[in-house]
């Protein structure tokens, strides 16, 4: 079985006021996404997902890039047999979809190839004005393999996604926001502050309700409309069994801030 470099120092994890921060910290500031690097990123996210003190997870990169693509030096010697035997994409890359807590990507600089795919695997993306997105795999003899050709059309539509993937062109932050690839774009001098404000806002909601809301929205991408509506109703009804439902309703009626119990 193929073995890959796996350095714990490539990822820095911190918990600040109920927010789990996962910072990509490769010695190369472009954060090339090797198999071992992705494993460390996922393990950090999974650890926060299982930590009762964390209510929201944020993925962020270096000042130069979120992640500018896959580690091509690692991929160059791989054959079809080796890459399929090692489950190069199935492992870790696909596991981000299993994270139950809200998780978003804070992107400044480049988010290309695997970096764009990693960002899209999160619940949403917040971008700095200098962010650049893209799936340039066609320029290096490949196609997207970790969700790029599947998630991007769902975010920005078939036409724009097909153009981006067939040309390999980058999408700047302003166009990414217009197309729906990112939720918000902020100027460089306020980016970190705004990211922190968004993460803190989500972390201060009921984690029980956030988990159900996230599941309901994700269902819209995975099911036909009628089936999704039935599932949404079921999830909505289930909120009436939560203590936070009662607290939220009472707090509204009493014109006070709710005190969430997260259950």
Determine which helix (DSSP H) or strand (DSSP E) holds 16, and give its type and residue range.
strand 11-16
CA distances to 26, 69, 191 from 128, rounded to whole Å, are 20, 18, 6
The C-alpha atoms of residue 116 and residue 229 are separated, in whole angstroms, by 30
Give the contacts of 176 (CB within 8 A, at least 6 positions apart): 125, 127, 131, 133, 182, 185
The C-alpha atoms of residue 218 and residue 100 are separated, in whole angstroms, by 11
Residue 69: CA count within 13 A, CB half-sphere: 20
Determine whether 180 is an active site residue: no
Catalytic residue (one of 35, 68, 70, 173): 70
The C-alpha atoms of residue 71 and residue 194 are separated, in whole angstroms, by 30
The C-alpha atoms of residue 179 and residue 163 are separated, in whole angstroms, by 13
Determine whether 141 is an active site residue: no
Instruction: Decide: 79 and 43 in contact? Cβ < 8 Å.
Output: no
Catalytic residue (one of 20, 69, 117, 134): 117
The Cα angle at residue 31 between residues 106 and 133, in degrees rounded to 5: 50
Say if residue 226 is exposed, middle or buried (CB neighbours under 10 Å; 0-12, 13-18, 19+): exposed
Catalytic residue (one of 61, 69, 137, 203): 137
What torsion do the CA atoms of 142, 143, 144, 145 make, to the nearest 10 degrees?
-70
The C-alpha atoms of residue 55 and residue 111 are separated, in whole angstroms, by 25
Determine whether 117 is an active site residue: yes
| Enzyme catalytic residues | 70, 114, 117, 137
């Amino acid at each position: 079985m193929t073995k890959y470099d796996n350095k714990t120092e490539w990822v820095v994890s911190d918990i600040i006021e109920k927010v789990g921060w996962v910072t990509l910290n490769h010695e190369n500031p472009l954060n090339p996404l090797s198999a071992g690097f992705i494993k460390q990123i996922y393990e950090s996210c999974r650890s926060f997902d299982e930590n009762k003190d964390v209510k929201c997870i944020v993925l962020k990169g270096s000042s130069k890039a979120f992640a500018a693509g896959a580690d091509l030096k690692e991929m160059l010697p791989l054959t079809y047999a080796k890459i399929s035997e090692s489950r190069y994409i199935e492992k870790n890359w696909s596991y981000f979809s299993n994270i139950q807590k809200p998780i978003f990507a804070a992107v400044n600089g480049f988010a290309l190839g695997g970096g764009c795919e990693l960002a899209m695997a999160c619940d949403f993306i917040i971008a700095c004005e200098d962010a650049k997105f893209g799936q340039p795999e066609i320029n290096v003899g490949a196609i997207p393999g970790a969700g790029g050709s599947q998630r991007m059309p769902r975010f920005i539509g078939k036409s724009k996604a097909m153009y981006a993937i067939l040309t390999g062109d980058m999408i700047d932050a302003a166009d990414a926001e217009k197309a729906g690839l990112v939720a918000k774009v902020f100027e460089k001098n306020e980016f970190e502050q705004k990211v922190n404000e968004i993460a803190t806002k989500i972390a201060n909601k009921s984690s029980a309700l956030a988990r159900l809301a996230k599941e309901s929205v994700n269902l819209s991408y995975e099911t036909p409309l009628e089936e999704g509506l039935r599932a949404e109703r079921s999830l909505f009804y289930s909120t009436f069994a939560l203590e936070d439902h009662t607290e939220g309703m009472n707090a509204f009626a009493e014109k006070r801030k709710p005190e969430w119990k997260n259950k």
